[in-house]
Amino acid sequence: MADLEGSSTNKTQADSREEISEESKLQFSKDEETLIKRMYNLVGERWAIIAGRIPGRTAEEIKKYLTSTYSSKVE
């Protein structure tokens, strides 16, 4: 029984580490933020096109960034 409880605790810790690392990925430079806003105004919710202009960023990251930052405007 103790092993089962310990493994669920480890899984919870791993999950929280993943969330923290995911949040840290959503830190964008000022240049990236400006480009994302400009591209969004030009092409709308075409996340892959926006991400294609920023090396190392995925469409999912761009969407998460915009929806978390401007949740009332982007949905």
Strands (E), the chain: none
Residue 74 pLDDT > 70: no
The model's confidence at residue 5, banded by pLDDT at 50, 70 and 90, is low
Give me the CATH number covering residue 27. 1.10.10.60
Residue 16 pLDDT > 50: no
Structural domain harbouring 13? 2-69
Q: Please write down the long-range contacts of 43-52, taking CB distance under 8 Å and 24 or more positions apart.
A: 45/74
Q: What is the pTM of this model?
A: 0.60
Check residue 34 and give its pLDDT.
95
24 part of a folded domain: yes
75 part of a folded domain: no
12 part of a folded domain: yes
Q: Total structural domains in the chain?
A: 1
55 part of a folded domain: yes
